[in-house]
Amino acid sequence: MPGYRGLRVRQSVPRASRVAARAATAAGLAGALVFVCVPSAQARPDRSWIVVNTTSEADSDGLCALREAVLASNTNQRVDGCSGGGEIDIISVPDGTYTLTQGSLVFEAETEVRGYGAVVRRPAGQEAPERNEAMARIAATGHAVIKGVTFDGSAVQCGGLINEGTLLMVDGIITQTDYQEPPTSCRAPGAFLNMGTATMVRTSIINNHGYVPSAFTNYGTLRIVHGLISGNSAVSSLRFGNRSISTNSGVLSIYGTTYKDNSPSSLHNTGTLTVWNSSIRGFPGRGVALLNEGDAVVVKTSITKNGTGIVNWGTLKVSRSKIADNNAQNYFPTVGGIENTGTLTLERSSVTGNTGGGTGGISSSGTMTVKDSTIAGNLAVAWSGPVGGTYSADGAGGVTVSGNASFVNVTLADNHYEPSLEAEPPSHFSGGLYVAAGSVSLTNSILALNGHNQPGADNGLDCNGPVTSLGYTYLQRPAGCNFTPATGDITGGDPRLGPLGRHGGSTLTMVPMPGSPLLDHGSPAKVGSHAPDACSRHDQRGIRRPADSDQDGVARCDIGAVERQSLPGTYVRSPS
């Protein structure tokens, strides 16, 4: 049983057989051997090996070519030098280059291809014999396992793979597919088109180019595990969402996979998407890492060095992830970190070091909930217009809100709004939080150390616009902010926040220093309770609250995203 090395399986012997064996022994049949045959509960499928022994596609030469082996598997009949197949056929393909001169390989049965460094390719400079075909196609009746094979499109029209059935691809490569014409004339313009059920493990989709998504398009169910998607590019005159190198309209799960150096945008989702423990890195100032119009969950993922990190028009949850160092200064949308017009939940994550023309960190006109997260070190600057000239826009270094937003145990600090002094003066701005419309509530959160460079304007350093406090919020400079203090709020003074850095966990945080007014000044309500001002159970790093950070013998949660521990691993029970 694969994956269960050393597992011992005991098959049950029918009771009647056991009784018969005992009776034979009792009868004293000395020297006789009694065999009890127990039929297997499920017969082992008939497996046959088909060994490819030529790289040529010549017919009737007495040898077994790759195409002939696939046909033998489909028909269960001998084809030229290839033996007839069984229920499951294993095609052994030695190292070598197998040039497809007669069109696509079509898998219609249950077939496993074991490549040992094999390269399958089209003839260089030759288009597909049929323009709606790719190098290989798994038909609706097909169930293919392909291991250790490289599919090289040789930069010809309509390369790649099409899956209409079931596909498992392991340790494979799909590369050099190229399609520069409108997609209506080619069925598989990118490296991989999935309309069935597919799993790709340790497979690389690299250096593909196309008019539309050049890496993959998914309409079915697709899992990508420990993959590499790199060096792909898509060209289109359409909106940036349709210029992504990969698109999903079905169910897509991505685990432990690296996207890097793709252009202009990486992933466009209109279906159901899960991204886990992965990274998406593009080119600063160009493209969008993730455009979501469907339902998406992003967990433990790094989205860095793109134009805009995330654009969300649907429903998106981001957890334990890092959105950092994206730069959309001269690119639409002019938001560096996240632009949200749908429903966004951000938990235990960091949005840091992003640069945008209008907003550096997050701009939300939809519904947004932020918990146990750090938004810091983001920058909003002037941006260049489409016909030349430099403009500035209303916005903020940290967060701009024109919808509904809730912040619980959030650190929003050290963000800056600094358009060029030669740019047109903005009307409304803030270094930290700018509320253009809608409603904003803060609980157990920090607004501090933010700033802007507008001459003679002391307002809006940390906040600009109406903000509702639900209690226990630290606002360093309230000027320009329509803020009425609630129970436990602190205004003014020095927050004594440490610098942004790695202080445990997988994301960046800012830890209050000893003597900070933030320590043990969060809500005294039971953590994780339904009280409107309650702190979360765990901080951004996953450390349990509360800890006795000021060492007075009574544990109470700290204000902000991070719970400072006086002694790591030591907790004092809260009186609540």
pLDDT tens string 481-501: 998 789 999 999 999 999 999
Letter string b/e over residues 370-381, b meaning 16 or more CB atoms within 10 A of that residue's CB: bbbbbbbbbbbb
Q: How far is CA 275 from the centre of its chain?
A: 3
Q: Rounded to whole angstroms, how far apart are CA atoms 390 and 419? A: 10
Residues in contact with 389: Cβ distance below 8 Å, sequence separation at least 6, in sequence order: none
Q: Say whether 317 sits in a helix, a strand or coil.
A: strand
Lowest-confidence segment of 4-8, 61-65, 377-381, 492-496 by average pLDDT: 4-8
Cα separations in angstroms, 570 against 264, 564, 567? 48, 11, 5
What pLDDT is recorded for position 34?
36
Average the pLDDT over 358-375 and give the result.
96
* pLDDT, greater one: 502 or 386: 502
What pLDDT is recorded for position 1?
39
Omega prior to 546 cis, within 30 of 0: yes
Q: Say whether 199 sits in a helix, a strand or coil.
A: strand
* pLDDT, greater one: 386 or 203: 203
Q: Rounded to whole angstroms, how far apart are CA atoms 44 and 524? A: 64
Runs of H (alpha helix) within 182-243: none
The model's confidence at residue 329, banded by pLDDT at 50, 70 and 90, is: confident
423 has pLDDT over 70: no
Which residues face 380 on adjacent strands?
Answer: 356, 417
Summarize pLDDT for 551-560 with one digit per residue, the tens.
888 899 999 9
DSSP state of 21: H
Summarize pLDDT for 81-121 with one digit per residue, the tens.
999 777 889 999 999 999 998 888 999 999 999 998 999 98
Q: What is the mean pLDDT of the chain?
A: 84
Summarize pLDDT for 149-162 with one digit per residue, the tens.
999 987 565 668 99
8 A C-beta contact, residue 66 and residue 120:
yes
Q: Rounded to whole angstroms, how far apart are CA atoms 168 and 144? A: 6
What H or E segment, with its residue span, contains residue 367?
strand 367-376
Q: What is the pTM of this model?
A: 0.87
Q: Rounded to whole angstroms, how far apart are CA atoms 213 and 192? A: 9
The model's confidence at residue 331, banded by pLDDT at 50, 70 and 90, is: low
Report the sign of the C-alpha dihedral through residues 243, 246, 252, 254, in that order. Answer: negative
Residue 349 token pair: 């994550």
Work out the end-to-end distance of the chain between its first and last CA atoms, rounded to an integer number of angstroms: 52
Summarize pLDDT for 251-290 with one digit per residue, the tens.
999 999 999 999 888 899 999 999 999 999 987 667 899 9
169 has pLDDT over 70: yes
What pLDDT is recorded for position 424?
59
What H or E segment, with its residue span, contains residue 246?
strand 244-248
Helix H, strand E, coil C: the string for 455-510 is: CCCCCCCCEEEEEEECCCCEECCCCCEEECCCCCCEECCCCCECCCECCCCCCCEC
What order do you get walking across the sheet with 355-356 strand by strand? 327-328, 355-356, 379-380, 416-417, 451-452
The CA-based diameter of the chain, rounded to the nearest angstrom, is: 110
What H or E segment, with its residue span, contains residue 267?
strand 265-269
Cα separations in angstroms, 355 against 26, 285, 435? 87, 9, 19
Summarize pLDDT for 450-475 with one digit per residue, the tens.
998 776 666 778 999 999 999 999 99
Residue 445 token pair: 């959160």
The model's confidence at residue 37, banded by pLDDT at 50, 70 and 90, is: very low
Which residues face 572 on adjacent strands?
Answer: none
Q: Considering only CA atoms, which of 153, 210, 151 is closest in space to residue 177?
A: 153
